Every structure is written in structure tokens, then in C-alpha cells.
Structure 1
Amino acid sequence: MPKLPTVHDVARVAGVSRQTVSNVLNSPDIVRPDTRERVQRAIETLGYRPHASARRLRTQKSSTIGIRLDPMVDGISGSILDRFLHALTEQADAVGLRILLFTATSPEDEIRQFGRLVDGSDVDAFVLTSTFYGDPRTEWLIDHGQTFVTFGRPWGIDDMNDLRHSWVDVDGRAGVRAATESMLARGFTRVGFLGWPSGSGTGDERAGGWQDAMTAAGLDHDLDRLRENAVDTVAAAREASSRLAGRVGDLEAVVAASDSLALGAVVQTQGGLPVVGFDNTPVSTAMGFSSVDQRLDDVAHAVLELLTDSGADTSRHRLVTPELVVRSSHPPVVPDAS
């Protein structure tokens, strides 16, 4: 069976972008007459027929927001995006919007999914999660004139103030700074930090909060010795905690970049040190250690404000201040889980 022509084929033959073809099909008045005629000729030559959903939705909004369903990488911190999805879905429903979930194996695969959903007019906008340095997804969406908001600020690219790139992020630096200050307020001076390897925008920001608090307290003379990095698993955190405790024999407390790392520290130290995590997962509640809550309901609300232009704030960016949830001063002693 011969392959049916696509919007990509029409754009190639007409020598225009895919967005221009979409404009000719859906909003022809905004396209220059000569360009419109060239696209129409390509459509006729190829025998292109829009998808049924595109024909159905050409004159109306789908009221649908597309968002990738990330794979569950870790059972602790990996639940954060699930909680965000629940908050976003509930709040979207309250204003008459729907969430369409899709899967992708990589950023490049996610971009291919964008193209499929745009061609089918299945969604009006996208929400992106897990932003990273050199993220190609935002560039594709901007180039193709798509409405989107990212949960996570742009890292390493010059569009922090680009009105075409709307983003919502949690101020991880402020959250970890508050967590560290809570330890310093209790009289601890040797407060270690368990973070992620350098190069993660989110992780670097959280490490910066610990450094800010230690520097403000005049305790920045020994920061390298007080810091250990690990990938975001409990096993890796246990090893990093062991290295940290071995190097700093008089370690008094630990601040961690996630609850996964915090749990590793709790297990490794047998509950002998106060620990503060980040994400306020059910694990932190069960184990009784303090943690920083990202206020995901507020994040979802801000995302929908930007997508619908319903907020009083006319800026295209929101930075949500997280909240430190303080629990028992000393977590319970836990048995060795080796």
C-alpha cells in the first residue's frame, strides 16, 4: 500500500515550513497569496488530504494540553512528576481543559510525537517537563509556532526573557538555603551536602542554596570537604554518605538535594544525624525527616495561567518559592538495609 503524503511532504514540495502549510489549511488569511497558492499547488500535486481530526478541529479548539508521561526512574523522587500530573489534570478539568498523555523514549522521540499531535490537531498546547542544558524541544516548538510552557526554566540558553518561551520553576536554591539555615539555627556548623553530579541545572541551583547559607554564616572555608555527589538513588547516596562521614569525622547534619539522597544518608548513618531532604515525598513523612515541598499545586496553577493568559501577572515566567516542612529533629534509628 503506497504511503500517504504528509504535511512534511507538502512543505518540502512547496519550499515552506510545516507551520506555513498548517496556516494555509487552518488560517489561510494570514498567509501571503503567492505562498498560499504555492502550498495549494503542492497539496493538489501530492493529493494530500488532512487527517480527519484536523478537518474536524480546523475551526475550533481541542481544549487539550499534551504532556509527556515520563518513565518511572526512581520510586522516591520519580513520583514528583506523577504528583504534578495529578495536580495539573485536576486543575485543568476545573477550567474545561483536558490533558493528553503520551510517551517518548528520548527528546528526539518526543519531538516526533509533537509533530504527530500537531499534524492531527490533537492538542492546542504542550507542557514540557525535565528541562536540561541544550534541550532541543523548546527550539522546535518555538520554530513551529506552538504554544507551550515548561515546568523547569531554560538551562544554558538565552531565552530566560524570551516571551515566546513561558516557564514555571521551583526555586530550588531558596529551598535548600532554607533547609540549611534551619540546621544552622539549631547550632550545627558542620552541615554536609549530598548533591547530584555537576552539570544538572536543577542540581547546581540546589547546591548553590547550601553554599549561600554556609557563606552567609561565615562557614565557607571548608565547603569542598563537606560536599559529596551521587546519582539520585538510595544506594548511591549511602556510598556518598559513607565517604562524607569518613572524611568529616565530626559531621553534625546533612542537607540533601532530594529525598532519595536523604534516605540514603538516614540509612547509612543509622538515624544518628539530622537530615533534610527535598521533594517532601511520602518517604520523608514515613521516615520522619524534614524536607522541602515544591508546592506542586501552585506550579500547576501557574502553568495553566500562562497557557490560558488568565493571570494578573503579564510576565511569561513564574518562580515558585518552595516550603520547608519541618519534622522530628532526629529521625528514627533504622536497621542496616544491606
Structure 2
Amino acid sequence: MAPDSRSDSDVRIGTNDVRRDGGEGGPAGGDSRRPTVSSVAAHAGVSRQTVSNALNSPERLQPDTLKRVLAAIEETGYVRSAAARQMRTARSGVLAYRLDPVLDGISGLVLDTFLHSLTSDAEAHDHRVMLYTADSDEAELRQFERLTRARSVDAFVLVGTHAHDARYRWLTERHVPYAVFGRPWARQASGKQSQHAWTDVDGAAGTSQATEHLRSLGHTEIAFVGWPTGSGTGDERRRGWEQSMSAAGVPTRHRHGLDSAQPDGIRSGAEAARRLLEAGATAFVCASDSLAVGAWGAVQAAGAQAAVVGFDDSPTAAALGITSVRQPLEQAARWALDSVLSQLDGRPSDPADSGLLVPTLVVRESSVPAPAAHP
């Protein structure tokens, strides 16, 4: 990437050197002590083209030849140059990912797991991850323009999807490969099929598991501590609780009295739990671990026998002994990487490859049984 095409907000993971003669391997200064394609070829007793095939098109080689070349690469300590490969293939080997600010230090850190898995899996496939920032859709589209114009990246991995998301159209119109972790909420609400593949965690399944778990502990007055309506993710998590409560025979009017909506955060979770405890709730399903931490603190401060379940299985929830819904973020990252690599290999994104990943419940000390009924 040219020096003037990189902003301070970009982080590029991994660097490689380029030999002055344009070959692969060796430092920029052309240190002949570093192994090259030619030295690997001589060591293996094959041609330079055979070594190139082993690196870029291994399917063209006989298994024994490929094995011999790979052994020579290992024995000589050869390291291929990403920059030389970029000049040859017109690909950078770089995937771009937007890094969002952490707002509360609890739930906001959850996507770090996704990013770590994406980066690790990408490195295993000889790709790197570049981070960029944007505080609005418009700013992100400007980042798209800058990065694609400079040919700094091959593809984008998108998170934080929302209704009327403009990113899909921009990338699709310019034939830029991308993978999406999150649902196309507007098209889903209208009953239309997505025009691209996506994956997401089934939030409704997660809160339904949480509600059924609390019912198995004897709770009937199970409250939901969630976000204001309008957030696709938040609405899905509320829906799972509603469906389980409805299946248990809880009337709609009574459910409304157990449903609390507030901004995400520890303080708002505590305030909601205090109100709901006074209304008779004995258990809480929370839309996030931030809300759950607040609710659990309020329960303990009140000396109440009440249970709390969070969502995201954050390190904070684990440290405080709060039961929480764990998202399969490593699986989502693998799907995203497979999607962009397939597109880079010439296979278009197929909406039929979309699907939901089922979360799991991690049970801890906050799974308190319901108070014994008084005769």
C-alpha cells in the first residue's frame, strides 16, 4: 500500500519484504543470504515454475513432487513475499474489517473474539486483516472508496448490520467481494430474500433457551430486561423470551408487565431489575451481559432470591458467576472467511448459503432456583 494511502486509523497485521529484482523472498535490500524461489528450486532439484506452482497452484503437481518442494521450503526457511505476490496476481491478500469503539467495556468486547478468530483463520490461509474505523455509514463508504481505489484490500467483512444498510449495494455494484456477519434486517422484515449470503447468531433461540432454563428452576415470573424496540438484534432476543413465555401460558397483558426496555448499560440494568423485583419478578433474561451485570448487582443488593441470565458470555459475566448465552463467534468467523475466499476464487456469493448459528447456554451461580411457594 502506498504511504499516502494509509491513515492513522488503519492497522495492518503482518508485513513482508520484497526483493529488488521482484522475486519472492529476501529483504528489500536484496540480501542473497535469504532463500529465494531459485534457491528452493535448486534445493529440491526442480524448476522455478514448479516451486511457483507449489506455492500458488499445488493441485497442478504430482503429490510426490509437491511433497519434495514443500520439504525444500521448510528446510531452506523460505518465506514468500506478499508484496511480490500482489504484483503478480493483482491481489493484496488483505481483508478489511471495521473496528468499532467499546462503549461499556463488557458487551462491546464480544466482537473481539470474532476478530481474533477471523485474523487467525485468515493467517492460516495466507491472508491478513486490516482494521479501519468509521463513525457512520457515510464515513464507511468513504473508507471503501479509499481502500478499493488504492487496491489495498481484496474483500471486506461486514458487521453491525442494520435496516437500510447502504454498504451491500456499494460493494455489489463495484464487484467487491464481501461477507456479512449479521442479517439484512430490512429485507427480512419485508419478506424479501437477501441478495447476498450472510450468517448470524439466532438470538431468539438464545433467549428462548435462557427462559426455558429459568422455568426448569421453578420460575414463572420471568422478566425480560432488553433494549428499546427498533434494534433488529434486540427485537430478536425479546422475541425468544416472548415465545417461551407464551408457550408457558403467560397472558400477553401479564408479559407486558414483565418487559422492560432501556439503553444498554450496567446502571440501566440495575434500575430495571429493582423495578421488576418490586413488581414480583423472580428471574431475569437480559439482552446483554451489561444489563445482566446491573440486574445481578441489584438482586444481590436487595437480598432477593432471584436468577439472572445474560447474553454474550463475556469475561465479566464469567468472573461474576452470571449465567449467559454464548455466541458461536469462532464458527461465524470461519464462515465469513470461507465466503470471501470463495468469492476471490471466482464463485459468487449465494444467498442460499445464508443461515443462523445456534448459541449455547453457560450455566453459573446466578441460576438461582425459584423461591419456595408459601402454603
Provide the TM-score with structure 1 as the length reference.
0.76
Separation (CA, whole Å) in 1 of partners of 2:268 and 2:155: 38
Does structure 1 residue 296 correspond to structure 2 residue 329? Answer: yes
Kindly provide the CA deviation profile for residues 191-210 of structure 1, in whole angstroms up to 9, marking residues without a partner as x. Answer: 00000000000000000000
Aligned with 2:264 (options 232, 253, 271):
232
Deviation at 1:57, TM superposition (A): 4.6
SS, match of residue 241 in structure 1: helix
Q: Does 1:275 align with 2:328?
A: no
1:207 matched to 2:248: no
Show the counterpart of 2:163.
133
Choose 1 or 2 for highest CA Rg: 2
Q: How does 1:7-22 map to 2 (within 5 A)?
A: none
Is 1:118 aligned to residue 155 of structure 2?
no
Alignment of 1:19-98 (within 5 A): 57=87, 59-98=89-128
C-alpha distance in structure 2 between counterparts of 1:182 and 1:188, whole Å: 9
One-letter identity of the residue aligned with 1:274 = A
Q: Counterpart of 2:221 in structure 1: which amino acid?
A: R
What SS does the aligned partner of 2:107 have?
Answer: coil
In structure 2, give the amino acid aligned to 1:320: L
Distance 1:107 1:64, change over 3 A: same
CA offsets, 1:212-270, max 9 Å, x none? 11111112341100010111110111122222223x2x211000000001011011121
Conserved 8 A contact 1:293-1:322: yes
User: What's 2:180 paired with?
Assistant: 150
Q: Which residue of 2 aligns with 1:324?
A: 361
Distance in 2 (CA, whole Å) between partners of 1:144 and 1:167 is 19
Does structure 2 retain, via aligned residues, the 8 Å contact 1:306–1:316?
no
In structure 2, what is the Cα distance between the partners aligned to 1:150 and 1:327? 32
Check whether the contact 1:193–1:227 (CA below 8 A) recurs between aligned residues. yes
Larger mean Cα displacement after TM superposition, 215-224 or 289-298: 215-224
Q: Unaligned regions of 5+ residues in structure 2, if any?
A: 1-82, 369-375
RMSD: 2.3
Deviation string 1:277-309 (CA, Å, 9 cap, x unpaired) is 000001111111110000111111111121123
Q: Secondary structure at the match of 1:71?
A: coil
- Counterparts of 1:210 and 1:304, CA distance in 2: 32
Q: Structure 2 vs 1, CA of residues 187 and 88 (structure 1 numbering), >3 Å: closer, same or farther?
A: same
Question: Contact (CA 8 Å) 2:214, 2:367: kept in 1 or not?
Answer: no
**1:56-86 per-position Cα deviation (integer Å, ceiling 9, x unaligned):** 6584321111011111112000001122111
Offset at residue 328 of structure 1 (A) = 2.1
| 8 Å contact from structure 1 (residues 302, 318) kept in 2 | no
Report how far residue 143 of structure 1 moved. 2.0
Pairs aligned (count): 274
Kindly indicate whether residue 290 of structure 2 is the aligned counterpart of residue 253 of structure 1.
Answer: no
Corresponding position: 1:197 with 2:234: no
Deviations 1:110-143 (A, max 9, x none): 1100001110111111011111112112221122
